[in-house]
Structure 1
Amino acid sequence: MGLYARITPFANEPLTDFTQEHHRKAMEAAIAQVKTGFGRQYPLLIGSERIVTEDHIVSINPGNLDEVVGYVSKADVGLAEKAMQTALAAFESWRKTPARERAEYLLQAAKRMRERKHLFSAVMVLESGKNYAEADADTAEAIDFMEFYAREMMRLEGINETLPLTAVLGEVNKVNYIPLGVGVILPPWNFPNAICTGMTCAAIVTGNTVLLKPSSQSAIVAYHFAELMKEVGLPDGVLNFIPGSGAEIGDYLTSHPRTRFVSFTGSKEVGLHINALAAQTAEGQIWIKRVIAEMGGKDGIVVDETADLDAAAQAIVTSAFGYQGQKCSAGSRAFIVEAVYDQVVEKAAALTQKLEIGLPERNYRIGPVIDQSSYTRILRYIDIGKTEGKLIAGGGKAAGNGYYIEPTIFADVDGKARIMQEEIFGPVLAMGKAKDYKEAIALFNDTEYGLTGSFFSADEGRIAEALEEMHCGNLYINRKCTGALVGAHPFGGFNMSGTDSKAGGYDYLLLFTQAKALSRKL
């Protein structure tokens, strides 16, 4: 039986309902199991070798600073070079592996991740400060990426055989999408399973080999993914796991003459730095490196006077404070038409004040921010906000032995204020007033970013205008601006939000390939 016959059509992985006691208890048991492994060492994975180094990353539970989740070995330049040579050697056979066989590895990995879904999620609860629902959605998205990209690779393989080209008398013509080479994968800490898995699997299923350098804040989650790929039999050297310093091995590999592409998700500043490094031609380099960069956002929600105000307020709060605002899609700005401005602000403040803060392992709605650096930076922005707007909720530190910050709202904020223009990446929302929906859209567009946005209205004419005029990669109508689903909402942004790669979309895999036109005279 062929692979096409064995797989089912793609459907998004269902989320777990933790209001049901058996699901909640299963997550609690998974958290307890992960805790039994606290303090263990995690090696590098280079080819068939597991390498433990003296220098390591210390992973601390951001919700309880007394807990060490684990110690992750760090690669230096020498080990990064070893990984590069290993990936180069593996590429020669992996690129010739049939597409259906490469896809099968992803499908098998998705199956096994689904079987131990709560264990992957539990690691994120403890290492990344996610509550049950946020962690569960992260793991579900990782499964979705593997399933979706496996099917997409087989679709591309079919296109290779059937792409309708202009007929030329006396010739047979076709196009093949072939892999690029060795790529460097640089995922973020905030979706440490989903985005890490998606970026890596897209590269390997298209026939490339990779060097995976995860974020230091979430390296243990990435290790479990890398181990899963080994478990399903992915050939040695196709995926090499090399945590380490971005300034050291990240820059070294980005500048390396044999690096063919860099896939990055993270901040604007780091993304621009990577783009600049990759643009420089190293000695011995014979190609232009491809950079796939998804960067920051200063996303917003626009509400006009015809909208369902309760739904709008709920969407504003959910978008702003889900995972403590630590999403590039987080709705950190809201522009409300003045006729209903006071009502929406009041509703948003009331909803925010009901949010409970505490340990993620106890499933509080609001947990800690990721680390000391983020904690300090966000509190500094809150101090700035107190000079730029009216504080109506939160405004400071929250109790707990971790990096806890109150969900904070500032009202009456000018569109040019720093907290309206700069990405904070924390639980801080700025709200501003507009004279009408047109001005609100103009305020929304007044940013260097362009990732996600939402427009709330009951007027079809205005909705049509918003769809045309609001400049962002993912625009939603009458719903929150977070929560893109693989296959349904291809994700990526405009301007300084990155290269608009549209992860989880039907042209994403093309970014990891090059098209080879083949013509034969009869």
Structure 2
Amino acid sequence: MMTTTVGPFKNEPFTDFTKEENKQAMQAAIAKVKQELGRDYPLHIGAEKIVTDAKIVSINPGNTGEVIGNMSKATQQLAEQAMQEALKTFETWKKVPATERAEYLLKAAELMRRRKHEFSAWMVLEAGKNWAEADADTAEAIDFMEFYAREMIRLSETNVHQPLTKIAGEDNRLTYIPLGVGVVIPPWNFPLAICVGMTTAAVVSGNTVVLKPASTTPVIAYQFVALMEEIGLPAGVINFVPGSGAEIGDYLTAHPKTRFISFTGSKEVGLRINRLAAETAPGQIWIKRVVAEMGGKDGIVVDETADLDAAAAAIVASAFGFQGQKCSAGSRAIVVEPVYDELVSKVAALTQKLEIGLPEHNYAVGPVIDKNSYDKILEYIEIGKGEGRLVAGGAKAGGDGYYIQPTVFADVDGKARIMQEEIFGPVLAMAKAKDWREAIAMYNDTEFGLTGSFFSSDEDRIAAALEEMHCGNLYVNRKCTGALVGVHPFGGFNMSGTDSKAGGHDYLLLFTQAKATSRKVR
């Protein structure tokens, strides 16, 4: 059994790929992973590994002729089997001391750290991330495990003596106990970090889970599940059931024994999950808890006192990092009139310099995730041509994958579709405001509220922006992507979700319930 003195949390450093030894190490990891492509993968239900005839075929979005793996596909019957295994295992797992549960996460984090480039290589090939984006994803996964392990230890240590009001003659305590079986539904865009964070937060809190990974990135999720098996996590704590959202996602969400659903993905799917979870199934004895991180229509506001070069760089990085496929992506830029034309020119020039190509060769811009996304984004680009002035991109890009030119539209009205709807691709809309106050009002004119950024050198305006810009994560004079675990607890307002603040000190409480006990003493 581990002790509770594990030291302070420190973020995993990012890899510097300008160093030749790191570059060679990443190339070697990609070569190693490519030797493993095309394999068949099973479900994990309790101690069983189940291979099904039906498969989810995962392909490389940057080279669509390359099969990453053939993932077994769960049916409702198998989803039910996974639920029963999770229920059975919960009865023993909930009794495992919190410090022991935390130890599994710390062991997994250390092993992932040793294999960091291999995990990143899987994301380069299956998700289409360039080296830096994949490396940051793996680092965040390590951070989540390290952070949540320490948080569970902290909560268990404070369980005994919560700061309750003392009264004579009673011993009163408040403890946090696990909820039960949770359904974890992570996204494809951070296929390791968010999958790991959502799953390990639930299990370190004493819950068991049924994990349904994203169908476009199931092999990366499998690598995580295999890692947890390797470090000795008891069978049945994580039950791995890839499959159709309509077939098994809805089934598990509506299941009477599901205690909570942890979801990251689109607004539409999140609202459907919330609606299904709100219905009480026969035999259900609790109100299901939904932890949802959904979409965003994030923006960067720039006033005339800002450093325009820094603002332009931040706008381009926020809009086009991982091809704009982030819920935090800055897909809107709202700029005051005196510097609008100059900033549009700077943004267009930087965008046109971005090179597009195969992620394994580490181009700045790679493919979007699949054919559905590709077609949807191209449709939005055509809509944008009628709503704004095209200043960069605007078309498909070459290559044997789902490549789209980073695209910038200027002179877009605040009510335009490309200013209001989440595109989830490399498309940036730029709008003009008469002054910084109107710019903030335009920023707030959205159903979402996830991330935002304000560029200014005026302290009074910065203070006003910090108060008035309505979002869960607001940054000043920096890009609106790149939240760090423990540094920027992440989650948004309005249709961006339940503001669950992943990577923050109160996140684990979402997977527990507080029990107050009172004992009369002499």
State the TM-score, normalized to the length of structure 1.
0.99
Matches within 5 A, 1:250-329: 250-329=249-328
What SS does the corresponding residue of 1:217 show, helix, strand or coil? coil
Distance 1:65 1:163 in 2: 55
- Describe the SS at the equivalent of 2:96: coil
The one-letter code matched in structure 1 to 2:127 is S
Partner amino acid, structure 2, of 1:436: D
CA distance in structure 1 between the aligned counterparts of 2:375 and 2:477, rounded to whole angstroms:
34
Structure 1 segment 223-238 matched on structure 2, within 5 A = 223-238=222-237
Aligned to 1:15: 14
Q: Please list the CA deviations of residues 16-62 of structure 1 after superposition, one character each: whole Å capped at 9, or x if unmatched.
A: 00111111111111111111111100100011111000001000100
Equivalent residues, number: 521
One-letter identity of the residue aligned with 1:476: Y
Q: Secondary structure at the match of 1:67?
A: strand
- Secondary structure, counterpart of 2:9 in structure 1: coil
Partners of 1:417 and 1:3 in 2: how far apart?
A: 57
Cα contact 2:474–2:480 (8 A) shared by 1: yes
Corresponding residue of 1:348: 347
Q: What is the CA distance between 1:2 and its match in structure 2?
A: 5.0
1:468 equivalent in structure 2: 467
Residue 145 of structure 2 is matched in structure 1 by 146
- Identify the residue that residue 519 of structure 1 maps to in structure 2: 518
Partner-residue secondary structure (3-state), 2:305: coil
Q: Distance in 2 between matches of 1:408 and 1:56?
A: 35
1:302 maps to a residue whose letter is V
**In 1, distance between residues paired with 2:97 and 2:300?**
45
Q: Matches of 1:186 and 1:129 in 2, distance apart?
A: 20
Kindly tell me: are residues 244 and 484 of structure 1, through their superposed partners in 2, closer, same or farther at Cα, counting changes over 3 Å?
A: same
CA distance in 1, matches of 2:168, 2:393: 72
Q: Distance in 1 between matches of 2:2 and 2:491?
A: 34
The 1:2/1:201 distance shift into structure 2, 3 A limit, reads: closer
Is 2:374 the partner of 1:375? yes
Q: Is 1:439 aligned to 2:438, yes or no?
A: yes
Q: Does 1:497 align with 2:515?
A: no
TM-aligned CA deviation for residue 9 of structure 1? 1.0
Q: Distance in 1 between matches of 2:162 and 2:183?
A: 30
- Indicate yes or no: 2:437 matched with 1:408: no
Task: Show the counterpart of 2:480.
Answer: 481
* Partner-residue secondary structure (3-state), 2:447: coil
Match of 1:56 in 2: 55
Q: 1:150-169 maps to which residues of 2 (within 5 A)?
A: 150-169=149-168
Deviation track 1:273-329 (CA, whole Å, cap 9, x = no partner) reads 000000000000000000000000000000000000000000000000000000000
Rounded Cα–Cα distance in structure 2 between residues aligned with 1:233 and 1:37: 23
CA distance in 2, matches of 1:15, 1:2: 28
| 2: CA distance, partners of 1:103 / 1:259 | 23
Residue of structure 1 in register with 2:428 after alignment: 429
User: CA contact under 8 A between 2:46 and 2:236: conserved in structure 1?
Assistant: yes
- Deviation of 1:164 after TM superposition, in Å, equals 1.4
Shift of 1:8: 2.4
Please name the residue that 1:3 is paired with: 3
Query: Match of 2:356?
Result: 357
- 3-state secondary structure, aligned to 1:3: coil
Residue 239 of structure 2 is matched in structure 1 by 240
Structure 1 regions of 5+ residues with no counterpart? none
% same residue: 74
SS of match in other structure, 2:331: strand
Kept in 1, the 8 Å contact 2:396–2:405? The answer is yes
Amino acid at match of 1:399: G
Give the structure 1 partner of residue 390 of structure 2: 391
Aligned to 1:71: 70
**Which letter does structure 1 place at the counterpart of 2:353?**
K
SS at match of 2:160: helix
Cα distance in 2 for partners of 1:42, 1:33 equals: 18
Answer yes or no: is 1:93 the counterpart of 2:62.
no
Greater CA drift, 160-169 or 68-77: 160-169
Provide Cα deviations, 1:197-235, integer angstroms capped at 9, x if missing partner. 000000000000000000001100000000100111101
- Name the TM-score, length of structure 2 as normaliser: 0.99
CA distance in structure 2 between the aligned counterparts of 1:440 and 1:218, rounded to whole angstroms: 38
- Following the alignment from structure 1 to structure 2, what is the Cα–Cα distance between the partners of residues 130 and 341? 32
Does 1:211 find its partner at 2:210?
A: yes
Query: Unaligned 5+ residue runs, structure 2?
Result: none
Kept in 1: contact 2:491–2:497 (CA 8 A): yes
Three-state SS of the structure 1 residue aligned to 2:412 is coil
In the alignment, the residues of structure 2 paired with residue 345 and residue 260 of structure 1 have an alpha-carbon distance, to the nearest angstrom, of: 49
Q: Report the Cα offset of residue 4 of structure 1.
A: 2.3
Aligned partners of 2:457 and 2:37: how far apart in 1?
Answer: 51
Whole-angstrom distance in 2 between the partners of 1:49 and 1:85:
13
Letter in 2 for 1:331: G
Counterpart code for 2:183: V
Give secondary structure in 1 for the equivalent of 2:216.
Answer: helix
CA distance in 1, matches of 2:518, 2:229: 39
Q: Please say if 1:29 is aligned against 2:19.
A: no
Q: Distance in 2 between matches of 1:108 and 1:135?
A: 21
Deviations 1:170-196 (A, max 9, x none): 100000100000000000000000000
Equivalent AA in structure 2 for residue 118 of structure 1: H
1:460 corresponds to which letter in structure 2? E
Distance 2:157 2:4 in 1: 11
In the alignment, the residues of structure 2 paired with residue 2 and residue 236 of structure 1 have an alpha-carbon distance, to the nearest angstrom, of: 21
Is the contact made by 2:2 and 2:99 (CA closer than 8 Å) also made in structure 1? Answer: no
1:202 matched to which residue of 2? 201
2-side partners of 1:324 and 1:65: how far apart? 17
SS at match of 1:91: helix
Contact kept in structure 1, 2:2 and 2:100, CA below 8 Å? no
SS in structure 1 at match of 2:242: coil
CA distance in 2, matches of 1:268, 1:350: 33
Name the SS for the 1:154 alignment partner. helix
* SS of residue in 1 equivalent to 2:491: coil
For residues 25 and 338 of structure 1, the distance between their equivalents in structure 2, rounded to whole angstroms, comes to: 47
Partners of 1:360 and 1:228 lie apart in 2 by 25
Residues 2 and 103 in structure 2, CA contact (< 8 A), matched pair in contact too? no
Q: Distance in 2 between matches of 1:129 and 1:268?
A: 23
SS in 1 for 2:194: helix
SS in 1 for 2:191: coil
For residue 448 of structure 1, what is the amino acid of its counterpart?
E
1:162 aligns to what SS in structure 2?
coil
Partner SS state of residue 334, structure 1: strand
CA distance in 2 between counterparts of 1:45 and 1:224 reads 12
Q: Residue 45 of structure 1 aligns with which residue?
A: 44
> In structure 2, the residue corresponding to 1:207 is in which secondary structure?
coil
Q: Distance in 2 between matches of 1:412 and 1:3?
A: 59
* Secondary structure at the counterpart of residue 514 of structure 1: strand
